[in-house]
A and B are shown apart, each in its own frame.
Chain A
Amino acid sequence: ILNVEQSPQSLHVQEGDSTNFTCSFPSSNFYALHWYRWETAKSPEALFVMTLNGDEKKKGRISATLNTKEGYSYLYIKGSQPEDSATYLCAFISGNQFYFGTGTSLTVIP
């Protein structure tokens, strides 16, 4: 069983704060890394698909970086808003297998 770790497990921030969290994965047999946002009572939705070492992706106030050599990805949220409250899941793709992390639960306090 392959280990994908996310930290922290949960996070509470004030509205307007910027925050970041980490996804750690094996540095071998890397094919891709996906980030998903999962709001309560909704479906997980893809945020980013990252494949290349040094990749940086941005969608509005959310961005992600990728370091495949050391096996981590960071997700950043600038100026957090209450609607950013969700669980953020990363998935490490190796071959044709998806390995999900346990997620980081973010609560943005108005």
Chain B
Amino acid sequence: DTEVTQTPKHLVMGMTNKKSLKCEQHMGHRAMYWYKQKAKKPPELMFVYSYEKLSINESVPSRFSPECPNSSLLNLHLHALQPEDSALYLCASSQAHGVPTYEQYFGPGTRLTVT
């Protein structure tokens, strides 16, 4: 199974809501990633988890809170978002972080709209 799944596919939330994005992989990968992509821009790295520990936080505002409950799951908890946070949120995994020859396996993304 080389699939990374993400739920939900689409999410509309108000600025006072709390919601979570979920990501799952069953490839035994030990690195998992959250990216944010705005239209016509490259995916921007937000967080990296390596062996279930937060390895990289790219100065992401605290209204985004990642969680890695186990090696297969990655969550992104959202609270008090702003309209400019509307974007496609992509999850990815790889065998290990920091090995340049390991490709990333991506999920299809969650399209988030903040109203």
B10 to chain A, nearest CB (A): 11
Which of B12-20, B64-72, B73-81, B98-106 lies on the face that meets chain A? B98-106
B45 close to A97 (CB less than 8 A): yes
B104 to chain A, nearest CB (A): 7
B106 close to A49 (CB less than 8 A): no
Which of A36-44, A62-70, A74-82 lies on the face that meets chain B? A36-44
A89 close to B42 (CB less than 8 A): yes
| Minimal Cβ-Cβ distance residue in A for B45 | A98
| Minimal Cβ-Cβ distance residue in B for A100 | B42
B101 close to A102 (CB less than 8 A): no
Interface size on B, residues (CB 8 A): 20
Is A93 positioned at the interface, with any CB of B under 8 Å from its CB?
Answer: yes
Given known contacts A41-B108, A103-B42, A46 and B103 CB-to-CB distance under 8 angstroms: yes
Query: With A and B bound together, what is the CA distance between A99 and B104 in angstroms?
Result: 12
Interface size on A, residues (CB 8 A): 25
Query: With A and B bound together, what is the CA distance between A33 and B2 in angstroms?
Result: 21
Chain B residues with Cβ under 8 A from A11's Cβ? none
Is A51 positioned at the interface, with any CB of B under 8 Å from its CB?
Answer: yes
Given known contacts A89-B42, A97-B45, A102-B40, A51 and B101 CB-to-CB distance under 8 angstroms: yes
Please, could you name 27 A-B residue pairs with CB atoms under 8 Å apart, sorted by A?
A31-B100, A32-B101, A34-B104, A36-B104, A41-B108, A43-B105, A43-B106, A43-B107, A43-B109, A44-B90, A44-B106, A46-B105, A49-B102, A49-B103, A51-B100, A51-B101, A89-B42, A91-B104, A96-B56, A97-B45, A98-B45, A98-B104, A99-B42, A102-B40, A102-B41, A102-B42, A103-B42
